[in-house]
Amino acid sequence: MSQSCVEYKENAALRRHSIRSSLAVDHLLGILIGSALLLHAESVCLWILTFANVITNELLRSGCVWLMGVPAGFKLNTELAGVPGVISLNAIQIWPTLWILIDFLFIYFIKGLGLLGILFGATIPAALIIDMVSLATLHVSTLHWAISVLYSRQIQALAAL
């Protein structure tokens, strides 16, 4: 079935209006979010740093210490429990150390996100935030990979006995 010229023009106009309205909403949201970030940059930085500290200290470290003592946690036997636990605690400690080094730059990053939101809409700051979260959690992903490899080797060694 072929479309008539009128149907084709109506569909093209609908797509064009949809794209324009999406761009307008994106830009308006960018202006709102960017303005809020610029006005409240200090409190946003404080909240994010406090949140990161709580995640690191209360969840990751306490969870790692808990896993070192649980029978089905890090260990196949008691002697091997210390090695992955200490490696995990050291990898988790990297995060607060890096935050100390980049703490003074973080306010500029938040203000830059606000400015980018005002200029380019909400999608550019959202993409940068996703990239920064991926970069900030790289140590946890690497830790997960290393512990998985170590645990796999331990299972293989015990299976070979």
Which of 113, 138, 132 has the alpha carbon at shortest distance from 123?
Answer: 113
Question: How far is the C-alpha of 158 from the C-alpha of 161, rounded, in Å?
Answer: 5
CA 5 and chain centroid, separation: 48
Residue 136 neighbours by CB under 8 Å, 6+ apart:
52, 95
Q: Which residues contact 87 (CB under 8 A, 6 or more apart)?
A: 143, 146, 147, 150
Q: Tens digits of per-residue pLDDT, 8-39?
A: 888 888 999 999 999 999 999 999 999 999 99
| Confidence tier at 72 by pLDDT (50, 70, 90) | low
Whole-prediction pTM: 0.72
Encode 6-37 in three state secondary structure.
HHHHHHHHHHHHHHHHHHHHHHHHHHHHHHHH
Between residues 41 and 1, which one has the greater pLDDT?
A: 41
- Looking at residue 74, its pLDDT comes to 58
Tens-digit pLDDT profile for residues 83-139: 777 777 887 887 778 778 888 888 999 999 999 999 999 999 999 999 988 888 887
Q: What per-residue confidence (pLDDT) applies to 146?
A: 81
